[in-house]
Amino acid sequence: MDGASSMQSADLSWLDRPDVFRVNRLDAHSDHRCYATQGEAERDSSGLIMPLDGTWKFKYSPNPQARPAGFYRQAEAPADFDDIEVPGHIEIAGYDANQYINTMYPWEGHVYRRPAGLTEGDPGVGAFSDAADNPVGSYMRTFTLPEHMQGERIHVVFEGVEQAFYLWLNGHFVGYAEDSFTPSEFDLTPYINETGTNTIACEVFKRSTAAWIEDQDFFRFFGIFRPVKLVALPKLHVEDISVRSLLDDDLRTGAITVDMRLSAKEASCLAGATAEVSVIDPQGNRIASQTSSPEQDGDATLAFTGIADPQLWDNGSPNLYRVDVRLIDASGDVCEVAQVDTGFRKLVRDGVKVSLNGHRLYILGVNRHEWNADSGRSITVDDMKHDIDVMLRNNINAVRTCHYPDRLEWYRLCDRNGIYVMAETNLESHGTWQKMGAVEPSYNVPGNSSVWEKVVVDRAVTQYETLKNHPSILFWSMGNESYAGTAIAAMDAYYKSKDDGRLTHYEGVVHNRAFEDVISDLESRMYDPPEGARAYMSSNPKKPYILCEFMHDMGNSLGGFGDYMDLFDDFEGFLGGFIWDYIDQQLYAPDPLTGEKTLCYGGDFDDRCSDYEFSGDGLLFADRTEKPAMQEVKYYYGRYADGNHIR
């Protein structure tokens, strides 16, 4: 079965089948902003969106067999359903136990499992669909479309659901999705009640075959943990837009290309319609515009060439241009205004050297998990803004989204604030090959499996298509600690096929160098001591050298930072690194003795196995205050950031 199959009914066995990871889930598209009117665009407040966050009805079941199967057929939640807040984790709502664990799979010692799909048709061992350790969250809520959305095509977007979920609307099966950290979008139009009450229902499973590749070193949560929204598609709609800002070699002349894919409610809407595409400079001046006719031109490709002396985008000067698309129907009415931010920057790899806009690129980075001590990985835009401020204040100029894509707002904040992003695909499978520190890949996934290759390439496609327009993204990262084989090579080939001027990154190929020519533009290491870095860079290095993780800031740490920073002075091929990591992962819980709100960690919830305090490696404590080590980061990164301007 193809991963993107169209199916009419739900099947629990999909949880056990790595070849089924999305059913009726729409193809990913750019995260451009859409507005119904120019006024909405100016206020950055879209009337095309209706949030579905808030209180949902909820039933927790300890395993799939105990779930209230068929509840989605009812118009209202059964009486024994509770209330739950969306977004949020089911564990933090008190239904299921918190567990923090690193490399080991969360079922270690509890359930014997081997991944399905190592070879075609291999069912694996230890199914998820009838597993005692696979709790289910059954969610339901009702909504009524506001008048201005009635009659439009309606999609629903789940921005993050961990780890596998089935969706119904008004009793009809809508679709199924995995990949916890990218948006899952479905078309609700066929089943929607335009004027009456709609009932949306989901079953969210804590585990599925996706668990094998979502073995990140973090608290293991499930549930709808990022926002959910309805989106109305106006009769003319920009489905996808790819904006590229290109620079001549002398950086004095720019060009912007715009590739659009449009959709219409009915083909007749296209008759006489126009797409007016404008380029707005960082000061807000419209510097160019063109008009195309979707009816005649189809999906438009436009080029704005000869932009003289474009204002470049970098860490010190995050100059953003904007592309505005106005879709206008035959009678001259604006149907939709779409906006994309873009920036002129030229990333060049020349042998082992990497430059941005003609200057050496210094990656003064941190790894950042999304974290909030009250709400886990369900974070707010204020949390993100706080993090940006911390980075700017401390000369941190880069972030690796370890080890999954972040909430979309994060990338826009990085665009605006000049934070370089290593955008990491949602992939980590170290439990399949790293056994108590030893490399033992006997059942590694994705490995060389053609089945798993489809899964991980789909994740790469989703990340690329969603985030492709963000100037802040300089690197596509295939994932973390998943060993190396043909599947990851296929991800690399996919990202490279986009030829978008970015570099690819993956560390795990150092454990299987047979793939080093087809995986990763960078020689990436983690926790290599300074001597190891020197040894690589001194002996005819093939690639620029980067530390995707270094300076493990667990507890009272970050000693000897200067020995790494000296590498900038001694080697032109040293690209820098990302400190591990940004923020301690701890959760607030009441102290059993005093009832006081206290920060807890792995093992504090009777969670076994656990890796205990190993989640506390941040430059920030879990309450977002800075650790004392931050002044050292500010000092050393400041030597190369030159007041947040590239030296």
Interacting residues toward other proteins by CB under 8 A? 437, 527, 529-530, 550-563, 584, 586, 591, 593-594, 596, 598-601, 604, 613-617, 621-622, 627-629, 631-636
Residue with the two structure tokens 């030229």? 346
Q: Which is nearer to other proteins, 367 or 425 (CB)?
A: 367
Which structure tokens are listed for 424? 């990491």
In the bound complex, what is the minimum distance in angstroms from residue 584's beta carbon to other proteins?
6
In sequence order, the 6+-apart residues with CB closer than 8 A to the CB of 285 are none
Q: Which is nearer to other proteins, 455 or 629 (CB)?
A: 629
Which residue in 114, 117, 111 sits closest to 17, CA to CA?
Answer: 117
Q: Which is nearer to other proteins, 269 or 629 (CB)?
A: 629
In the bound complex, what is the minimum distance in angstroms from residue 206's beta carbon to other proteins?
26
In the bound complex, what is the minimum distance in angstroms from residue 617's beta carbon to other proteins?
7
Local structure of 266: helix, strand or coil:
coil
In the bound complex, what is the minimum distance in angstroms from residue 600's beta carbon to other proteins?
7
In sequence order, the 6+-apart residues with CB closer than 8 A to the CB of 164 are 14, 15, 176, 177, 178, 204, 205, 207, 208, 210
| Type of residue at 603 | G
Q: Are strands 574-579 and 363-367 parallel, antiparallel or unpaired?
A: parallel
In eight-state DSSP terms, residue 620 is: B
Which residue in 93, 105, 219, 213 sits closest to 612, CA to CA?
Answer: 219
In the bound complex, what is the minimum distance in angstroms from residue 90's beta carbon to other proteins?
24
Sequence length of the chain is 647
Question: Burial, 516: exposed, middle or buried (Cβ in 10 Å; 0-12, 13-18, 19+)?
Answer: middle
Q: Which is nearer to other proteins, 339 or 397 (CB)?
A: 397
Distances (CA, A) of 230 to 148, 168, 182, 198, 200: 13, 14, 16, 12, 11
Continuous segment of H or E residues that includes residue 536? helix 530-538
Answer whether 161's CB lies under 8 Å from 180's CB: yes
- Rounded to whole angstroms, the Cα distance separating 468 from 408 reads 12
- Rounded to whole angstroms, the Cα distance separating 47 from 45 reads 7
Distances (CA, A) of 283 to 160, 289, 409: 34, 16, 22
In the bound complex, what is the minimum distance in angstroms from residue 565's beta carbon to other proteins?
9
Q: Which is nearer to other proteins, 387 or 553 (CB)?
A: 553
Q: Which is nearer to other proteins, 496 or 552 (CB)?
A: 552
Continuous segment of H or E residues that includes residue 503? strand 503-505
Active site includes 549? yes
In the bound complex, what is the minimum distance in angstroms from residue 373's beta carbon to other proteins?
11
Q: Which is nearer to other proteins, 267 or 436 (CB)?
A: 436
In the bound complex, what is the minimum distance in angstroms from residue 524's beta carbon to other proteins?
16
Q: Which residue of the set 91, 481, 507, 632 is catalytic? A: 481
Which structure tokens are listed for 264? 């219409």
In the bound complex, what is the minimum distance in angstroms from residue 556's beta carbon to other proteins?
5
CA 52 to chain centroid: 20
In the bound complex, what is the minimum distance in angstroms from residue 616's beta carbon to other proteins?
3
Q: Which is nearer to other proteins, 176 or 218 (CB)?
A: 218
Q: Which is nearer to other proteins, 318 or 618 (CB)?
A: 618
Active site includes 276? no
In the bound complex, what is the minimum distance in angstroms from residue 60's beta carbon to other proteins?
28
Q: Which is nearer to other proteins, 45 or 631 (CB)?
A: 631
Sheet with 172-177, edge to edge strand ranges: 22-23, 172-177, 164-169, 197-205, 136-144, 54-61, 82-86
In the bound complex, what is the minimum distance in angstroms from residue 531's beta carbon to other proteins?
10
- Rounded to whole angstroms, the Cα distance separating 347 from 306 reads 20
Q: 589 has which bridge partners? A: 598
Which residue in 509, 482, 479 sits closest to 495, CA to CA?
Answer: 479
Answer whether 89's CB lies under 8 Å from 225's CB: yes
Q: Which residue of the set 91, 214, 424, 549 is catalytic? A: 549
Complete DSSP assignment for 1-27 = --TT---SS--GGGGG-TT-SEESPPP
Q: Which is nearer to other proteins, 130 or 563 (CB)?
A: 563
| Type of residue at 188 | L
Which structure tokens are listed for 375? 């709400």
Q: Which is nearer to other proteins, 46 or 102 (CB)?
A: 102
CA angle 233, 41, 398 (to 5 degrees): 100
3-state secondary structure 145-187: CCHHHCCCEEEEEECCEECEEEEEECCEEEEEECCCCCCEEEE
Which residue in 212, 134, 214, 219 sits closest to 181, CA to CA?
Answer: 214
Largest CA distance in the chain: 73
Answer whether 273's CB lies under 8 Å from 295's CB: yes
Continuous segment of H or E residues that includes residue 287? strand 286-292
**Active site residues per annotation:** 481, 549
